[in-house]
Amino acid sequence: MQSRLVYMDHGATTPVRKEVVDSMLPFFHDQYGNPSSLHAPGRKVRQALDEARETTARALGADPEEIYFTSGGTESNNIALRGAAKKQKGGGHIITSSIEHHAVLDVCRDLENEGFKVTYLPVDHYGCIEPEMVKEAINKDTFIISIMAANNEIGTLQPISEIALLAREHGILFHTDAVQVVGQLPVDLHSSNIDFLSLSAHKFNGPKGIGALFMRKGVEINSLYRGGSQERKLRPGTENVPGIIGLGRALELAVSDIPHKKKRLESLRDSLIAGLLQIDDVVLNGHPRQRLPGNINVSFKYIEGESVLLGLDMEGIAASSGSACSSGSLEPSHVLSATGLDHSIAHGSVRFSLGWGNCKEDVDFVLQKAPLIVERLRNISPTYHSR
């Protein structure tokens, strides 16, 4: 029936580029040595690993010794936050935001149960964090601030440089979950005051299950794991060699593509937003300009997001939603709730996230189908008829 697939869920994950797969393949069958081994096959893989670390560091404006490979964004966040907390001994205060990904939020909740104090900063209705509020939240026990670089649901970009500077001035560590930003927007760690940054390869056309943590030289945390001495003991265990090679290659390609990809996605994003807002009773979630190049998040009033996704899926369009019925947890998105959006409107939220491969025809196709789906569902909806 349906012939084309319009994939607009790059915020969830992305396809792996051909060049990336090609770079990984030799490390499954040819170069299978353990990089910790002294023999020639091992040494050869060690060298490839070192090169991938250098490539990764260069793409981020960091030094190779500051890059620690992990299994992804979730693990990077856990190593940084729990590792910093573990070094504290005897509690302390953490500042984060109320719109973090669960891989930060739930770690903080856990740390609260372990005796740490946590401040979850509110956001304005665009989902922005006010640096002044960070400043006010700082107290003598604050040892780390963790604020995401961009939100995964609504795409809002945060004033990371300002907040990192604040942290530095107060002698507090600063961590940012940049999983949605790396490969989409330029990152230069050495000119920043960021102490930790988490990234994940599958968000920039790399493989799944591999990521990295940047930890600034001189910063010390306690390792969560015991094992070998890989990744300077922060992440012991035999390295995911093909994954690391793929991450390096994907990041190198993504970063070199940023200048033109960013412009292209922003223009597609803005035409999709403009087109969707042409439909009656649609609101844009997030900030109109200060947002990820590929992120579109709208709420269709009077209908529920999961049903819109299903309707889109029938047409071959892949998107996502923050509605309760699509979340698995049956809670509406904590991000949309934090922006003060009414629950009934949050239920109607749909995220389209663009990436490499999306084109103007895709946007046109969505704009052709979406109004019909919305109309059909509104026709069924009692709240629409009694509005």
Partner 1 sequence: MYNEKVIDHFNHPRNVGELSDADGIGETGSFKCGDTMKLYIKVKDDRIEDVSFQTYGCGAAIASSSMLTEMVKGKKLDEAMQITNQDVADQLGGLPPLKLHCSNLAADALHNAIEDYRRKHDQV
Catalytic residue annotation: 325
211 lines the binding site for ligand PLP (CB under 6 A) = yes
Which CB, 262 or 369, lies closer to partner 1?
369
75, 211 in Cβ contact below 8 A? yes
Question: How far, in Å, CA of 299 to CA of 286, rounded?
Answer: 11
Which CB, 210 or 255, lies closer to ligand PLP?
210
In the list ligand PLP, partner 1, Zn ion, none, the entry touching 380 (Cβ below 5 to 8 angstroms by class) is partner 1
Is residue 7 packed enough to be buried (19+ CB in 10 Å), middle (13-18) or exposed (0-12)? Answer: buried
What would the two tokens of residue 204 be?
């920039």
Q: What's the min distance (Å) between Cβ of 344 and partner 1? A: 6
Which CB, 152 or 156, lies closer to ligand PLP?
152
Q: What's the min distance (Å) between Cβ of 180 and ligand PLP? A: 5
Question: How far, in Å, CA of 21 to CA of 7, rounded?
Answer: 20
Of positions 53, 101, 287, 378, contacts ligand PLP by CB under 6 A: 101
Q: What's the min distance (Å) between Cβ of 150 and partner 1? A: 27
Q: What's the min distance (Å) between Cβ of 103 and ligand PLP? A: 4
Stretch that binds partner 1, among 15-23, 29-37, 109-117, 339-347 (CB under 8 A): 339-347
Of positions 323, 339, 349, 353, contacts partner 1 by CB under 8 A: 323
Q: Please report, for residues 5, 156, 269, 298, 335, the alpha-carbon distance to residue 285 in angstroms, rounded to integers and kept in the order given.
A: 25, 9, 13, 5, 10
What would the two tokens of residue 105 be?
């939020």
DSSP H helical ranges for the chain? 18-24, 26-29, 40-60, 73-88, 102-113, 131-137, 160-169, 241-277, 305-314, 324-327, 334-338, 343-346, 360-380, 382-385
User: Which positions ≥6 away from 108 have C-beta within 8 Å?
Assistant: 81, 94, 96, 100, 116, 118, 120, 146
Of positions 24, 62, 95, 103, contacts ligand PLP by CB under 6 A: 103
97 lines the binding site for ligand PLP (CB under 6 A) = no
Q: What's the min distance (Å) between Cβ of 357 and ligand PLP? A: 19
304 lines the binding site for partner 1 (CB under 8 A) = yes
Binding mask 155-194 for ligand PLP (x = CB under 6 A): ----------------------x-xx--------------
Of positions 212, 324, 370, 374, contacts partner 1 by CB under 8 A: 324
How many residues sit in the footprint of partner 1 (CB under 8 A)?
A: 25
Which CB, 53 or 351, lies closer to ligand PLP?
351
Question: How far, in Å, CA of 180 to CA of 293, rounded?
Answer: 10
Neighbouring-strand partners of residue 7: 318
Binding mask 296-325 for Zn ion (x = CB under 5 A): -----------------------------x
In the list Zn ion, ligand PLP, partner 1, none, the entry touching 101 (Cβ below 5 to 8 angstroms by class) is ligand PLP
Which CB, 185 or 325, lies closer to partner 1?
325
328 lines the binding site for partner 1 (CB under 8 A) = yes
In the list partner 1, ligand PLP, Zn ion, none, the entry touching 307 (Cβ below 5 to 8 angstroms by class) is partner 1
User: Which positions ≥6 away from 197 have C-beta within 8 Å?
Assistant: 60, 149, 175, 176, 178, 182, 187, 189, 213, 214
Nearest to 352 by CA among 299, 279, 303, 278: 299
238 lines the binding site for partner 1 (CB under 8 A) = no
237, 226 in Cβ contact below 8 A? no
Question: How far, in Å, CA of 59 to CA of 50, rounded?
Answer: 14
**HSE toward the beta carbon, residue 328, CA cutoff 13 A:** 1
Q: What's the min distance (Å) between Cβ of 332 and partner 1? A: 7
Give the binding site for partner 1 (CB under 8 A). Answer: 302-304, 306-307, 310, 314, 323-326, 328, 330, 332, 343-344, 347, 377, 379-385
Give the binding site for ligand PLP (CB under 6 A). Answer: 72-74, 101, 103, 148, 152, 177, 179-180, 200, 211
Give the binding site for Zn ion (CB under 5 A). Answer: 325
